[in-house]
Amino acid sequence: MIDLKRLRSEPAAVRAALARRGDAGLGRTLDEVLSLDAERRVILAAVETQKASRNTASQEVARRKKNGESADDLLADLKQSGDEVKRLDQQVREIDTRLDALLLTLPNLPHPDTPEGGPEANRVIRTWGNPSEPTEGCRPHWEIGEALGLLDLPRGAKVAGSGFPVFRGTGARLVRALANFMLELHTGEHGYEEVIPPYLVNQTSLRGTGQFPKFTDEVYKIGDDELYLIPTAEVPVTNLHRDEMLNEGDLPLAYVAFTPCFRREAGAHGKDTRGLIRVHQFDKVELVRLVRPEDSEADHQLLTAHAETVLQRLELPYRVLELAAGDTGFSAARTYDLELWAPGVGAWLEASSASTFTDFQARRAGLRYRPAPGAKPEFVHTLNASGVAFPRTIAALLEVHQQPDGSVRIPDALIPFFGRELIEPLS
RNA sequence: GGAGCGGUGGCAGAGUUGGUCGAAUGCGCCCGACUUGAAAUCGGGUAGGCCCGCGAGGGUCUCGUGGGUUCGAAUCCCACCCGCUCCGCCA
């Protein structure tokens, strides 16, 4: 949710910032918001004046009744005044409803430093490792996974549908090892508290992080109970402190959660969907931070570094992209994507997205803190990053570390969790 | 699923024969006094949102949520949500 007061006081700046997202419809929404807001304040002034005089007269009634005097002469006027209040209140309510609905559809303002333009303007800000050219015997992960007996895509499709992978045997063990490796890293070295949140959430939570009301198509719904499968742990974890008043000393809050994620990926079929590249269910370790506004830019760098550490320890070459204003997600102000190089498929695969949401989610979810004892409450800033998503990481891991003999080398950092140095071909 | 009880300020917890109740009291926190310093003690202060105002300040709304009754609702009525206890069912 953008700040209505700011929109009112500097409409041109807000309009210019939103325009950078490249959606012409946003300007019209702004116009409507502004005009509804103006209308609302006129009616509000009227109804509050009316209420003020009603309250005064009402107190007079109370005083007289207490003294046993008659107040009948006031009651008729008050009745009329009450009806007028009710009428105006109703108008304000209607405007509020429309205003809220519009405000909920407006995306966050992009950070001023984000590149101008759409996806083509995304900027590579650094690359780590040596992305190798695809070589002769270099196979894609689905072939490796099948050959080594790690993956069973056909049976996943049978049981649930396309995009629901089955990891089996050593593959399942690899998933478990990765989960433990990442959780140990983030809880031990990076100072995150591990949480296991609900995997189903209500609509209020989805509105808090920004998936609702605009992106209902992306989320699986459990119709009978009005619950939704989480598309990312960001949703339950960010909402942990919804409508709470935090103390300055509580911040920063840093949570790490290993959860499955469920995404409908409506309309995405046929594009980049082979193997593990785009699936409906996947595991992810997610990092979520609630911080003081003045810390959020530095924290964004820190958070990104935490996610990068995972890839570095797994010895997987990657690049960091700063997303352009037009490609930055709805709730985010600034996002760094971490893309793994997958030599088998010859493509960069997004394994993490590290974003700062400034106060956008905090406004929607009521995440506030008191900067100092006795001070006015302020909204926190929220940030999150995948640390990291499993399927594409596994894809890159298989493709990068595949050996000429068909085996896959396990990177040193993972060996203690995996228990072996090599995944051998099936005999 | 059934029955009962309950949802009040940062926290705990009064208040339900409708009217100076946005709300006692305690804790916490802030300021001050006492003290070499601290503790203890004493005095004072301390909810949030919205609107108007340069400001000082003023107005209004909020006692789970949404409606209703009424001149007036934390208090009465209706619906819903959530929590606790017991029963039923169940991994």
10 Å Cβ neighbour count for A359?
21
SS3 readout for chain A: CCCHHHHHHCHHHHHHHHHCCCCCHHHHHHHHHHHHHHHHHHHHHHHHHHHHHHHHHHHHHHHHHHCCCCCHHHHHHHHHHHHHHHHHHHHHHHHHHHHHHHHCCCCCCCCCCCCCCCHHHCEEEEEECCCCCCCCCCCCHHHHHHHCCCECHHHHHHHCCCCCCCECCHHHHHHHHHHHHHHHHHHHHCCCEECCCCCEECHHHHHHHCCCCCCHHHCCEEHHHCEEECCCCHHHHHHHHCCEEEEHHHCCEEEEEEEEEECCCCCCCCCCCCCCCCCCEEEEEEEEEEECHHHHHHHHHHHHHHHHHHHHHCCCCEEEEECCHHHCCCCCCEEEEEEEEECCCCEEEEEEEEEECCCHHHHHHCEEEECCCCCCCEECEEEEEEEEEHHHHHHHHHHHCECCCCCEECCHHHHHHHCCCEECCCC
CA of A368 to C1' of B14 (A): 28
| C-alpha of A296 from chain center | 15
Distance A243 CA to B58 C1' (A): 29
Q: How far apart are CA A178 and CA A389, in angstroms?
A: 10
**CA-CA distance, A391 to A351, in Å (whole number)?**
8
CB A108 within 8 A of CB A357: yes
Exposure string (b/e) for A372-392, b if CB count within 10 Å is 16 or more? Answer: eeeeeeebbbbbbbbbbbbbb
Nearest nt to the A40 alpha carbon by C1': B51
Using CA atoms in the order A35, A41, A42, A46, what is the torsion angle rounded to 10 degrees? 160
Cβ neighbours around A83 below 10 Å, total: 10
Domains detected in chain A: 4-103 (1.10.287.40), 119-423 (3.30.930.10)
pLDDT (tens, 9 = 90+) of chain A, 427 residues, equals: 899 999 999 999 999 999 999 998 999 999 999 999 999 999 888 888 888 888 888 877 777 777 777 777 777 777 777 778 888 888 888 888 889 889 999 999 999 999 999 999 999 999 999 888 767 778 999 999 999 999 999 999 999 999 999 999 999 999 999 999 999 999 999 999 999 999 999 888 999 999 988 888 889 988 777 889 999 999 999 999 988 888 888 889 999 999 999 999 876 666 567 889 899 999 999 999 999 999 999 999 999 999 999 999 999 999 999 999 999 999 999 999 999 999 999 999 999 999 999 999 999 998 988 888 778 889 999 999 999 999 999 999 999 999 999 999 999 999 999 999 999 988 7
Distance CA A146, CA A272 (A): 19
Q: How far is the CA of A72 from the C1' of B79 (A)?
A: 34
ipTM, 2 dp: 0.85
Give me the CA A246–C1' B10 separation in Å, rounded: 8
Q: Tokens at residue A154, please?
A: 């056909």
Specify which residue's alpha carbon is closest to the C1' of nucleotide B19. Answer: A62
- Tell me what pLDDT residue A331 has: 96
Cα–Cα distance between A193 and A91 in angstroms, integer? 47
CB-CB contact of A116 with A20 (8 Å): yes
Q: Kindly report the bases of strand B lying within 7 A of a protein C-beta atom.
A: 10-11, 19-20, 29-30, 45-46, 48-52, 59-61, 67-68, 70-72
* Number of other residues whose CB lies within 10 A of the CB of residue A27: 12
For residues A59 and A419, give the distance between their C-alpha atoms in angstroms, rounded to a whole number: 78
Q: Please identify every residue of A annotated as catalytic.
A: 263, 278, 350, 353, 392
* Nearest one of A239, A270, A232, A272 to A389, comparing CA atoms: A232
- pTM equals 0.93
Instruction: Considering any atom of strand B, list protein residues whose CB lies within 7 Å.
Output: A 4-5, 41, 44-45, 48-49, 51-52, 54-59, 61-62, 65, 75, 78-79, 81-82, 85-86, 93, 245, 373-374, 376-377
Q: Which nucleotide is nearest to A5 (CA to C1')?
A: B50
pLDDT confidence of residue A267? 66
CA–CA distance, A365 with A239 (Å, rounded to integer): 7
